[in-house]
Amino acid sequence: MKVVKEFGYSLKKIISKTIIFLCLILFFVKGSHSTQTLRYGQSFPPIRGNDINTGKEFVIEKGKWSLVFYTSTPVSENLSFLKYLDILFQKLKFRNINFLGIIENQTRFYELSQIHYPIIIDKNFSIGKKLKLKKGQIASFLIDTELKIKFACYFPIKEEDLRMILEENLFGFITQFKKPDNLSILNKPFPAISVKNIKSNNTIKFNDAIKNCYLIVFGPECTRCELKKYSKSLLKFERFLNSIPIVVLFSYKFSELDILNYLKNAKLDLFLSTDEIHELEDLYYSKSYFDHEVIVIHVENGIIKNIIEFEKFEKYFQEEF
Amino acid sequence: MVEFKKNFAFFLFVIIYSSLIYGESQIDIFKVQKVFEFPEIIEPRCVAEYDGKYYITDHSTHRIIIVNKERNKVVGYIGKPGQGAGELFRPTYIFIKNRKIYVFDYAHEKGRVQIFSTDGKFLGQIPLSFEPWMGFSVNSKGEILLNQPQKKSIMSVYDENGKFIKSIGKLKQVSEIYGNNFSSLNNTYRFAVNRVYLDVDREDNIYSVFIFAPIIQKYDSNGNLIKEVRIRGKEMEEIVGYFPKTHKPTGLVKTGIDGVLVYYFIKFAIIEPKSNTLWVLTGKDDYFYIYNLNTLEKIDELYLDYSLYKGGIFYLSRGDGELFFSTVLKPGLYKLEMAKNK
């Protein structure tokens, strides 16, 4: 009887102590997790999922650097971020680095299908929770070969920022820092950029394929609204195509579907950049062209001869023809 | 008659002198000049000066760029992009005290203060638990002042090792500033209404200029409130009418802070080193109100013509004898100079 009583007492004691212990653990674990975000130097939690394009399972593993971008819905800005990462992925795919996009809600399937690195869907927000995100939040992470976080950011950042962080950590230097002179690209060969012909779906090197043209450039600062605004003017140029070669180039930030939506009947050649177009992008930040959303580059024998704003080009056409 | 002529001449002198100081010609008395147009500087934010060199924070390249004043040439960099010790991510405010550089950067969600030697050696960092937003300054002892209303005071003071020293300033309530009709907003705006710009003068007196309320406070170096004045002026009266959002503001910049949406009543505040006056940039049409540091009396107003610069003014900073402002949207760094004829 004594033994039973003692046993009963000690069992009660053990159970109550265990409950208190578990409560304490839960309190501290839950407490620290719910208030803190992931930070530099911490371990990245294990995450896995299936790539929506290949169906293959993706796991972040040791021995490789990883760049992870989380977004709730791939609306225009976030989508352009995912597309920019694809450009980086194409450049760095032989450099021992994983790229991963995680999306809470699957939309814009066509655009996502064009992305070459794994994209996984986090329908029940379980990965988001592990990464300490709030619903609707955007986050970027760079993880080293030991799964330690080298960069964690819970607000939208510029694509350029992520590239610089990545290059600095991987190579110890940054490929592009300086702001080029706005006139430095005049009389120089048109840059070797990869572009996709939206109608034929062929990807070409622009400088090899097209040597003479008036190139209408919708740069990274333009938006879908600009496209709508300019689409009528673009169609006006079509009747001069036999005498003057006019082609249109869109920054990778544009959605292919948006372009086709506004210009589906256009006879003009429409190219979407699948590359960074630094030299052209920087024109938008330089003094002369900053105020102009769309610019026209005159390319002759593969050399950049002149750059003018779209409005002047349009006026010139109206007066001359 | 001679006495009359003397008095008349003196009277005339007073009139002319007063009109020069307080006259309507404020628009013309300052020059605006774009500076530091180097390819290395892409998105400049703030400037500090030490030993013939300017130290400029750059938001785009995530580093401090050092420019030799005499040679007008970039001579070095401090930091590189990242979140590790000595790395920078979106650096903004910068102060140099006792040969040490104190820079605020947004490496983590709440930001941090990093300390470097003037030759670029990393000395330490203070990760913050509460974002000071626009309120960051350093006094002559190297103590760091941060606006952290979450810590139940206007500012918290830390030593350079990040050790908390003291709190300064009693938090205000919306009803205290805008009247009892707004008492229902006291809780919602409890942090936002206590957001301030901070600056420190040569005697370590502290100036706290509220961002969403027309108030300037002056504290002595021990943290005692010496004076508090209400910011008055045509522009300010109009702006205050926008609290919380009773009218649709024209030309004011909206921001989200501490869980509420507010319009900048004050876009920046800083001590101008040459005249030793406090410059308050209002949220409306880039009007500056200029205050005497001792009395906190408004002594002048200055309107900057939009055509003199591009973008929107957002950050003010100073060298040893110069005042700079940087612009956002169309990034640039400009120097404000007093014209010689003043």
Q: Is the pLDDT of residue A42 over 80?
A: yes
User: Tokens for B15?
Assistant: 């009139």
Q: Which stretch of A275-289, B12-26, B205-219 has the lowest confidence by average pLDDT? A: B12-26
- Per-residue pLDDT, B98: 96
- Is B209 in the A-facing interface, judged by CB distances under 8 Å? no
A168 closest CB neighbour out of B60, B82, B330: B82
* CA-based radius of gyration for chain A: 26
User: pLDDT above 90 covers what percent of chain A?
Assistant: 27
- Per-residue pLDDT, A13: 61
At A176-188, the pLDDT tens digits run 765 555 556 778 8
Mean of the per-residue pLDDT values of chain B: 88
Average pLDDT estimate for B138-163: 97
Q: Is the pLDDT of residue A29 over 70?
A: no
Please tell me which residue of chain B has the smallest CA distance to A282: B42
What's the gap between Cα A287 and its chain centre?
26
Which residues have a Cβ under 8 Å from the Cβ of B38 and sit 6 or more positions away? Answer: B65, B67, B74
Q: Parallel, antiparallel, or unpaired: how do β-strands A65-71 and A97-103 relate?
A: parallel
A241-274 in b/e burial notation, b at 16+ Cβ within 10 A?
A: eeeebbbbbbbbbbbbebbeebbeebebbbbbbb
User: pLDDT above 70 covers what percent of chain A?
Assistant: 77
DSSP state for residue A220 in the 8-state scheme: T
Question: For an interface test with B, which of A141, A179, A185, A291 has the most B Cβ atoms less than 10 Å from its Cβ?
Answer: A179
Give CA–CA dist B146/B199, Å, rounded: 10
Please tell me the number of Cα atoms within 13 Å of A41 on its side-chain side. Answer: 5
Q: Is the pLDDT of residue A3 over 50?
A: no
Phi/psi for A289 (5° steps) reads: -110, 5
Q: With beta carbons under 8 A apart, name residues in chain B contacting A181.
A: 39
Handedness of CA B317, B319, B321, B326 (dihedral sign): negative
Terminal-to-terminal C-alpha distance of chain A = 112
Q: With beta carbons under 8 A apart, name residues in chain B contacting A153.
A: 89
Mean of the per-residue pLDDT values of chain A: 80
Q: Is the pLDDT of residue A240 over 80?
A: no
Give CA–CA dist A260/A51, Å, rounded: 27
Q: With beta carbons under 8 A apart, name residues in chain B contacting A176.
A: none
Q: Which stretch of B44-58, B112-126, B198-212, B275-289 has the lowest confidence by average pLDDT? A: B275-289
A177-201 in b/e burial notation, b at 16+ Cβ within 10 A?
A: bebbebeebeeeebbebbbbebeee
DSSP state for residue A191 in the 8-state scheme: P
Terminal-to-terminal C-alpha distance of chain B = 33
At A49-64, the pLDDT tens digits run 999 999 999 999 899 9
Give CA–CA dist B114/B309, Å, rounded: 31
Per-residue pLDDT band for B216 (boundaries 50, 70, 90) equals very high
User: Tokens for A201?
Assistant: 């779906």
Q: Tell me the three state secondary structure of residue A230.
A: helix
Higher pLDDT among residues B101 and A302, named by residue: B101
> Quick check: B83 and A181 CB within 8 A?
no
Q: Is the pLDDT of residue B6 over 80?
A: no
At A244-300, the pLDDT tens digits run 788 999 888 888 888 888 888 888 889 998 877 665 555 545 444 545 678 888 899
Q: Is the pLDDT of residue B14 over 60?
A: no
* pTM for the whole structure: 0.80
Give CA–CA dist B325/B317, Å, rounded: 6
- Per-residue pLDDT, B17: 40
The residue behind tokens 């590189």 is B80
- Per-residue pLDDT, B5: 53
Q: Is the pLDDT of residue B321 over 70?
A: yes
Instruction: Count Cβ–Cβ pairs < 8 Å, chain A vs chain B.
Output: 49
- Per-residue pLDDT, A228: 79
Q: What is the 3-state secondary structure (H, E, C) of chain B?
A: CHHHHHHHHHHHHHHHHHHHHHCCHHHHCEEEEEECCCCCCCCEEEEEEECCEEEEEECCCCEEEEEECCCCEEEEEECCECCCCCCECCEEEEEEECCEEEEEECCCCCCEEEEEECCCCEEEEEECCCCCCCCEEECCCCCEEECCHHHCCCEEEECCCCCEEEEECCCCCHHHHHCHHHHHHCCCCCCHHHCEEEEECCCCCEEEEECCCCEEEEECCCCCEEEEEECCCHHHHHHHCCCCCCCCCCCCCEEEECCEEEECCEEEEEEECCCCEEEEEECCCCEEEEEECCCCCEEEEEECCHHHCCCEEEEEEECCCCEEEEEECCCEEEEEEECCCC
- Is B19 in the A-facing interface, judged by CB distances under 8 Å? no
DSSP state for residue A179 in the 8-state scheme: P
- Per-residue pLDDT, A174: 87
At A88-116, the pLDDT tens digits run 898 887 788 999 999 988 777 778 888 99
At A154-180, the pLDDT tens digits run 988 888 899 999 999 998 988 776 555
Q: Which stretch of A225-234, A282-291, A305-314, B313-322 has the lowest confidence by average pLDDT? A: A282-291
- Is B81 in the A-facing interface, judged by CB distances under 8 Å? yes
Please tell me which residue of chain A has the smallest CA distance to B79: A168
Q: With beta carbons under 8 A apart, name residues in chain A contacting B81.
A: 161, 164-165, 168, 174
User: Tokens for A254?
Assistant: 């544009």
Q: What are the start-end ranges of the E strands in chain A? A: 48-50, 57-59, 65-71, 97-103, 119-121, 139-143, 149-153, 194-197, 203-205, 213-218, 246-250, 269-273, 294-300, 303-309
Out of A58-62, A210-214, B84-88, give the one with best mean pLDDT: B84-88
Out of A2-16, A218-232, B304-318, give the one with best mean pLDDT: B304-318
Q: Give A121's strand partners.
A: A103
DSSP state for residue A253 in the 8-state scheme: T
Determine whether B206 is exposed, middle or buried from the number of CB atoms within 10 Å of its CB (0-12, 13-18, 19+): buried
User: Tokens for A159?
Assistant: 């694509």
Q: Is the pLDDT of residue B63 over 50?
A: yes
**A179 vs chain B: nearest CA distance in angstroms?**
5
- Per-residue pLDDT, B20: 40
Determine whether A5 is exposed, middle or buried from the number of CB atoms within 10 Å of its CB (0-12, 13-18, 19+): exposed
- Per-residue pLDDT, B53: 97
- Integer CA distances (angstroms), B96 to B41, B46, B51, B117, B323, in order: 20, 12, 10, 9, 15
- Per-residue pLDDT, B12: 42
Average pLDDT estimate for B144-154: 97
Q: Tell me the three state secondary structure of residue A100.
A: strand
DSSP state for residue A239 in the 8-state scheme: G
Give CA–CA dist B41/B60, Å, rounded: 8
Q: With beta carbons under 8 A apart, name residues in chain B contacting A165.
A: 81-82, 89
Q: Is the pLDDT of residue A73 over 60?
A: yes
Higher pLDDT among residues A187 and B202, named by residue: B202
Give CA–CA dist A185/B254, Å, rounded: 38
